[in-house]
């Protein structure tokens, strides 16, 4: 250890819980918890993992000693694979690989995505088929545990041959070259490693290629986006319940009978969630009494209330349900991806051979993320349409125009305030941007790398897009929740159920009632943070269970 900082880091690690990775059982939830939690668990390799890794290293040594040409070990990379080199040059070849790939551009990825990427890459290598020494993966995990992170530029991957350019920045940190983020400060990697008492690795044959040749960067974006989209699914159901209450809608649109007749799992779950949030209203249709009333002599009657609500309320489970069902299969696909050997070549110890393939191709991640961003953006559109109903006096059933406070006609404030007019404009802009980003990235394969990578997945771009769309939808939801809270104030909070009142109270804890026009930028940010943290869901669920 180098000084007190390293000693303190070691003591801190000793107090942490541990997440043991084995290449087979890591989940999206594990990744996000370890990447984001303030007191994140220490990540370590399982003992069985080490045994498997050593077996592939032994096979690697045998084939190198036999003079067998092995891709990326005793040959060049990509279309240079016909150029065999001596085994004596293998280590220098790995160094040059990291050097020529370090050409990423664009903004630095968020720290939670970087941490997720490091965990996933270590887990993939821990499967034991990549011929990487345990100490290299353990060093990668110690960098994670001690907050030495690679500043990975977001752009530069086509998602086939994996995330070569982004992952080269992980290899740079592990080898003490390039730059590192240590406790949020960028500095030379060697300096950051020394500060926490770690020595850089000298990579052996295949190890540099194994670090950079995989789907872990796209999967880091995917894991965090999937987790956040799960919170959005609940928030959309919460918004629907609140909108139904403040608009004095028909709660029987969410009756179990309806959804039993079209039993998509996600739709049924959304309808069930909305019913619980509404306080499980009695199974009666308020329109029945109206329909039974006598008509005029001319056989006509104007109903005081509509029999059914507009689509953005009545059909909401069918929109949010698509997101829920998409999450189910997308999480499954990404769980498989983060527990896969996705570099090349792989070492088949049982058969005693080296096998070349294309597991680095990010097709499943790309398809999952293109679907996720489409489903999430549709929810933004739903919430934006609900917001229109709430703020527009033509549709909001007696609420004020733009949810302005109620002023006496002789008050100086009469006619002076515009309430949520600007907020609706902002929500519309955010929704349009989310919808624009649904263009499928996976449709834009580009032949590259001297026509060696002639069909690529574009999955990293799809995953980054999905992250962006989810963030935009969260902001739309935050605006809508603020409007719904204002509508509840105007209607009277007695229209709320215990679960929606709990959510209302939490929103009001960070954003007071709008008594007159004021800037709401930071209110949006605070409510968006409540959505992202799961606090709104926890509050509503606790009230439901009470």
Q: Could you tell me the fold of the domain covering 224-288+307-346+355-545?
A: Fumarase C; Chain A, domain 2 (1.20.200)
| pLDDT tens for each residue of 163-180 | 999 999 999 999 999 999
- Read off the pLDDT of residues 8-36 as tens digits, 9 standing for 90 and up: 555 555 546 899 999 999 999 999 999 99
User: What is the DSSP code string of 337-383?
Assistant: HHTS--SSSEEETTTTEEE---TT--HHHHHHHHHHHHHHHHHHHHH
State the chain's maximal CA–CA distance in angstroms: 102
How much of the chain, in percent, has pLDDT values that exceed 90? 76
Q: pLDDT tens digits for 108-161? A: 999 999 999 999 999 999 999 999 999 999 999 999 999 999 999 999 999 888
Q: What is the mean pLDDT of residues 273-285?
A: 82
What are the pLDDT digits (tens) for 217-233? 999 999 999 999 999 99
In this structure, how many other beta carbons lie within 10 angstroms of the beta carbon of residue 343?
Answer: 29
User: What would the pLDDT profile of 472-516 be if each residue is shown by its tens digit?
Assistant: 999 999 999 999 999 999 999 999 999 999 999 999 999 999 999
Compute CA distances 80 → 77, 85, 172, 354, whole Å: 5, 11, 22, 18
CB 455 within 8 A of CB 444: no
Specify whether the CB–CB gap between 419 and 517 falls below 8 A.
yes
Query: Residue 182 pairs with which residues in a beta bridge?
Result: 148, 185
pLDDT at 291 over 70: no
From 71, 169, 361, 504, active-site residue: 71
In sequence order, what DSSP letters do the residues of 212-259 get, joined into one string?
HSSSHHHHHHHHHHHHHHHHHHHHHHHHHHHHHHHTT--GGGG-HHHH
- Nearest 5°: the CA angle 234, 238, 239 is 120
Common-topology check for domains 3-214 and 224-288+307-346+355-545: no
| Cross-strand partners of 344 | none
Q: Tell me: pLDDT of 1 over 90.
A: no
Q: In this predicted structure, which of 36-40, 339-343, 427-431, 513-517 has the lowest mean pLDDT?
A: 36-40
Virtual CA dihedral for 398, 404, 405, 410, nearest 10 degrees? -90
Q: Kindly list the domain boundaries of the chain, sorted by start residue.
A: 3-214, 224-288+307-346+355-545
What CATH class does 3-214 carry? mainly alpha
DSSP conformational letter for 529:
H
pTM: 0.92
Does 129 participate in catalysis according to the annotation? no
Residue 6 has pLDDT above 70, yes or no: no
Note the pLDDT of residue 78: 67
Q: How many of the other CB atoms lie within 10 Å of CB of 61?
A: 14
């Amino acid at each position: 250890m180098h000084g007190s900082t390293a000693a303190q880091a070691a003591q801190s690690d000793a107090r942490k819980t541990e997440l043991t990775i084995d290449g087979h059982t890591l989940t999206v939830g594990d990744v996000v918890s370890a990447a984001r939690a303030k007191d994140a668990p220490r990540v370590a390799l399982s003992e069985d993992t080490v045994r498997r890794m050593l077996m592939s290293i032994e096979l690697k040594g045998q084939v190198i000693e036999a003079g067998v040409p092995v891709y990326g070990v005793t040959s060049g990379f990509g279309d240079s694979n016909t150029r065999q080199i001596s085994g004596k040059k293998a280590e220098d070849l790995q160094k040059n690989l990291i050097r020529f790939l370090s050409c990423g551009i664009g903004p630095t990825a968020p720290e939670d995505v970087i941490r997720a990427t490091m965990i996933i890459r270590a887990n993939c290598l821990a499967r034991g088929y990549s011929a990487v020494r345990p100490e290299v993966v353990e060093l990668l995990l110690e960098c994670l545990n001690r907050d030495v992170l690679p500043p990975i530029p977001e752009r530069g991957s086509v998602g086939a041959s994996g995330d070569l350019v982004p992952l080269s920045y992980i290899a740079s940190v592990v080898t003490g070259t390039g730059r590192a983020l240590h406790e949020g400060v960028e500095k030379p990697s060697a300096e950051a490693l020394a500060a926490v008492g770690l020595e850089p690795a000298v990579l052996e044959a295949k190890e540099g290629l194994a670090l950079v040749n995989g789907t872990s960067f796209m999967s880091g974006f995917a894991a965090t986006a999937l987790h956040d989209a799960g919170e959005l699914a609940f928030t959309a159901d919460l918004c629907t319940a609140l909108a139904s209450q403040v608009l004095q809608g028909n709660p029987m649109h969410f009756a179990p009978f309806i959804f039993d007749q079209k039993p998509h799992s996600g739709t049924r779950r959304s309808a069930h969630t909305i019913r619980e949030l509404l306080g499980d209203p009695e199974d009666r249709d308020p329109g029945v009494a109206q329909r039974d009333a006598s008509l005029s002599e001319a056989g006509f009657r104007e109903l005081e209330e509509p029999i059914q609500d507009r689509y953005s309320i009545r059909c909401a489970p069918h929109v949010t349900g698509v997101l829920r069902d998409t999450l189910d299969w997308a999480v499954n696909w990404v769980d498989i991806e983060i527990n896969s050997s996705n570099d090349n070549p792989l070492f088949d110890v049982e058969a005693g051979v080296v096998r070349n393939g294309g597991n680095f191709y990010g097709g499943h991640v790309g398809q999952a993320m293109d679907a996720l961003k489409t489903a999430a953006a549709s929810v933004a559109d739903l919430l934006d349409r609900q917001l229109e109903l709430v703020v527009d006096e033509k549709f909001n059933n007696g609420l004020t125009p733009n949810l302005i406070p109620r002023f006496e006609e002789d008050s100086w404030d009469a006619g002076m305030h515009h309430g949520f007019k600007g907020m609706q404009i902002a929500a519309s802009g955010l929704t349009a941007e989310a919808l624009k980003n649904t263009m499928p990235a996976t449709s834009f394969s580009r032949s590259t790398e001297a026509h060696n990578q002639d069909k690529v997945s574009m999955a990293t771009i799809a995953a980054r897009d999905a992250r962006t769309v989810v963030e935009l939808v969260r902001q739309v939801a935050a605006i809508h929740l603020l409007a719904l809270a204002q509508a509840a104030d105007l209607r009277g909070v007695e229209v709320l159920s215990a679960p929606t009142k709990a959510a209302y109270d939490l929103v009001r804890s960070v954003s007071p009632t709008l008594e007159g026009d004021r800037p709401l930028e930071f209110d949006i940010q605070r409510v968006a943070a409540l959505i992202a943290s799961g606090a709104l869901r926890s509050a509503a669920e606790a009230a439901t269970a009470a």
